[in-house]
Each structure stands twice: as C-alpha cells, then as structure tokens.
Structure 1
Amino acid sequence: MPYYGGDIPISYSSLHGFIWDKLQSHGNEIAIVDASRHGKWITHKDLLNNSRKCAAYLQGLGIKKGDYVSVFSSNRLEFVYLLLGVIGSGAILTPYKDFYQENEIIYEFEITKPRVVFVDEERLDKMEAVKEKLPFLEHIFVIGTSQRYKTIEEVLAKGNAEFLQEGDY
C-alpha cells in the first residue's frame, strides 16, 4: 500500500510479534506510568514479560485463536499487559467499561461468549452474578486481591513464557 511515495516494509507476521519486539528493544526504560495509583510504573521489559506470561497461561487453559477473553475493570496498569497477553495467546480481547450494569454485561457476553474474564476486585460481585447466568464463562481472574478466585499476580507467577506457542495471529 503506497504511503506518500513509497511502500511501508512489513517484516512481522503478527501484531504481537511487532509490539513484543519493540518492547524488548527498549528494555528497562519506563513504558507506562499509572498516575492514578501514586505513579506506579512498569518498564518495557516487565511489560513484555508479563504479556508473555499472561499469553502462556491463557494457552495453558486451552484458550486458542478465535476464543474471546474479556477485561472488566477501571483504567489500570494491568490492562496493558492483559491486552498484549490476550493478543499474544491468539484470542480476541473484549474490554468492557467498569460502569456497565449486569444486564449490559450479559447482553455483550452473549454476543462474544468469553471463556475467561479478568475483573477488578471492586466489580467482582457483579461478575459473579453474571457468571451464574452464563455457563460458557469458565474462568474469572481478579485484578487485585481475592480469596475465592485466582488473581492476576497468580497468573503471572504461573504463566511460563517458555511454553508460549506463538503463531501468525
């Protein structure tokens, strides 16, 4: 496709491959700052590692190309590596605004039929009510703390990027 007098060379077969390569090239430089959480930040290297661990964990659950994974939370630093991890697993990300009501979530989920949802702890009760009505929703993971469900920190601790099956998706 011409772009102001020339073609743009594309040397990547996937979006996540391009992004992960760029993250790796910036190493320990700060990638993202979450000002709403007292300036918590993450480096490009950690963003890459967390994204790959998330992708590997999802694949370990059986998530594959074409499956849907949802994120239902406020703006959070974790959203970025969930986004990249879901794409890297081959799945399709469906993000939802934190102010959605139960009936709106059910309506949207009935369209996409996500097998996995990541939800922040403030909205967990609402997501549990949704899960009771939607049998295709297999897994809830909490962004924050939880006694009943695995957390994003547990996903990252158990996701082994060495076993990540990368593809052209």
Structure 2
Amino acid sequence: MADLIELHSARLQLRAWRAADLEPFAALCADPQVMRYFPAPYSREDVAAMIRRFRGHFAEHGFGVWALQRKDNGAFIGFTGIGHVGFEAPFGPAVEIAWSLARAHWGQGFASEAARAALGCAFERLGLEQVVAFTAVGNLPSQRVMQAIGMQHAPAEDFDHPRLAPGHALRRHVLYRLRHSDWRAAP
C-alpha cells in the first residue's frame, strides 16, 4: 500500500479515517437533513462498511475519500474525496469527487475549500485528466459547490442513477465535470 496522501487547506485537514470518526460520521449519516438527497439515512453498520470501502480504495488506488477535520478545533465535520465511480455509467469509467458535511458546518465554505484541495491532488499529484461530480437534480446546494470549484454542467450527460428504481424521486442526476486543462482557470 502506498503512503496515504494527507491534504491541508487554510482551515481544513483531509486525513486518514480513525476509529473515533465512526460515531460522528454515523450521526452525520443519520441526520435526515444531511441525507435528504440520498435514498435513506445510513445505519451505524452502513457507515462502518463505508469507512472500510474508503480505506480499501486508498489501499488499492492510493487516493480516495478523506475524513475532513477542522484545524482550529480538531472537529470531524464530514468527508471529501475522489474515487472511481462504483457503477456503470455512460460517462465512465471516471473518477468522481464527493463531499458531505455535518449540518453545523454548512454555509461556511468548507465544502468548496475541501473540494479544491482534493481537486488539486487529483490534477497536480495524480495527473488525472478529468474529474466528474453528480447529484440528484434537486440538490442545488451541491450543484452550487460544483460551480464554485469550477466544474461545468454537462446537460447532455445527465442520467438516471442505475441504483435507484424507475420513478424514484432522486433517480435523475445532473453531471458536472472539470478537465485538468481547465483546472488553472478554476476559481
């Protein structure tokens, strides 16, 4: 296994997952407001399995989803990271960027700040050609983060998420992308 890449931004540390992250991450994933654009909140067991998958992705690929921690007080506030898309999609194979923050940390620019650090890693350290992001059509907060980090909506590539049943309210997803060549121009 390659050494885990740890990232820092002005206010945040993107770091390896610790055993102590399970409880605050489980609380985040049980919050109906945080999870409103997911099919359902996740159980503690689901969250533990997710952390194992995050660690496994790092072990296999050398990058993945980091635990997100504030530098000023050491609080775990969520996750941000990049990973291979885990389902077949017309835009794949692809590497996606994703994030989720506990509600108490919304509206402070943390998602954009962490996402920029992850994109810097993707393009400058890993040499990826592009990164995608996607979310349910109604998830305007995440779409605003995608726009803030310089991603462009690709409306012709919007899609129905294959893991959601036809007719599910969250099935339709928007696709955003950012190419390495456009990274320097990103805000």
- TM-score normalised by L of structure 1: 0.32
More relative contact order, 1 or 2 (CA 8 Å, 6+ apart):
1
* Higher percent of residues as strand: 2
Look at both structures and tell me which one has the larger radius of gyration over its CA atoms.
1
* Higher percent of residues as helix: 1
